[in-house]
Structure 1
Amino acid sequence: MRAQDAIDRLGLIHDQLARAEVYPGFRPPAVALVGALGLLAAAAQPLAPVGFVAYWLGVAGVGGVIGFAAAARSYAHEEDDLERRRTRRVMAQFLPCLLAGGAVTVGVARADAVQLLPGLWALLFGLGVVAARPHLPAAVWFVGAGYVAVGAALMATADAEPSGWAVGGVFGVGHLATAVALRGRREECHE
C-alpha cells in the first residue's frame, strides 16, 4: 500500500467516525436561552399583525447569533480537526432548511399569505433537525418530528392573523426540549 492510499483511507475512517459520533457543538445553555427568547418574544409581540414578519425575523436573527456564537466559540477554541469536520458536516446538513425558510418567507410574504408562515417555519426547521439527527442524540429526532407535526397542524388551521405564540411558543418549547435532550446526552457521556 502506498503512503497516499493510507492517507486517503485514514481520511475515510475519520469521515466515518465523524458520522457516528454525537455532535457536541450545540450547547444546551445556548439552546435553552434561544428557547426562552422565543417564549419571551411571543409574550411581548404586539397584537397588531403589522410587522409580524419583521418582528420574527429579528427574533430569529438574535436566536441565530446566540446559537452560532456558541458553536463558533467551540469550533475556534475547543475542537480538533476531526471535530471541526463534523461541525461543518452538521451545519451543511442544517443550512438548507434555513435557506429554504428564507426563500419561503419572501414568497409567502409577497403573496400576502403571512398566516401560513408559522407552520411553514416550524415544518422547515423540523426537517433541518431531522436532517442533522445522525449527529445528535436520538431524542432530538422526536423534537424534529414534533416541529414537523406542529407545523403541518398550524398550516391546516391557520387563522387570517397569525399568532406570536404559533412561532414563539413552538420554537420556545422546541428549543427547550432540544436543550433537555442535549443535556441528557452530555450527562450520559460524562458518567
Structure 2
Amino acid sequence: MPTAHLSQRPELPVRDRILLTAHDLFYREGIRATGIDRVIAESGVAKLTFYRHFPSKNELIRAFLAYRHERWMAWFTDALQRHGAGRGKGIDALVPALSEWFADPGFRGCAFLNSVGELGGALPEVLEIARSHKEAMTKEIEQLLPPSRRRAKDAQTIALAVDGAISHAQFDPTPETALKTLERLVKLVRGAA
C-alpha cells in the first residue's frame, strides 16, 4: 500500500492535501508524535485554512481513520484478487496479499491497532472505528472461505491470526516468520472445518 508524496499532490484540493499529509505522518510517525503545526507546514496551508477544514486534531484523526479504512480495504480486496481469490484460490490468496503489504518499505503495521494503542482511552471513538474496520476485514476474509456453518467463526479466528501477523511483522527484521505462522494457522483452521 504505497503512499504518494506531497510533491505528487500539489494540485489536490486543500482539504485532501491536509488529509493525505496527516495520513502519511500519522501512519509513519504516530498520531501523538505528529503535531498540528507539522501537518500544516508539510501540507503547505495556512493555520486558518487548516482549522477551517479540521476544527480540531480529533476531527483530523477521525478523518484519517475513515480515509485509511477506505484505502486499506480497497487495497486488501484488490490484493486478494491479484493473488487469485477470484479464481478459486479463496483463502490461499490471503498470505501472498499480506506479504505484498509487509514488504512495502512504508509498512508500519495496522493503523487501527496503532491508533487504539495510542488513543483508545483518550479518544474512545477510536475503539469503535477500529472495531468497525476489523469487522469489515473479517467479512472480507469470510468471503474467501467455502460456505459452511463454521464460516463466520473460522473467519474470526483467521482475522485474529492476521492481526497477530501484522503486529509481529512490525518488529521482526523479516516478515517471513509471521507469514509462515499465519499460513500454518490458516491451514489448521481450514483443516478443522
Give the TM-score normalised by the residue count of structure 2: 0.28
| Larger RCO: 1 or 2 (CA < 8 Å, sep 6+) | 1
Larger helix proportion of the pair: 1
Give the TM-score normalised by the residue count of structure 1: 0.28
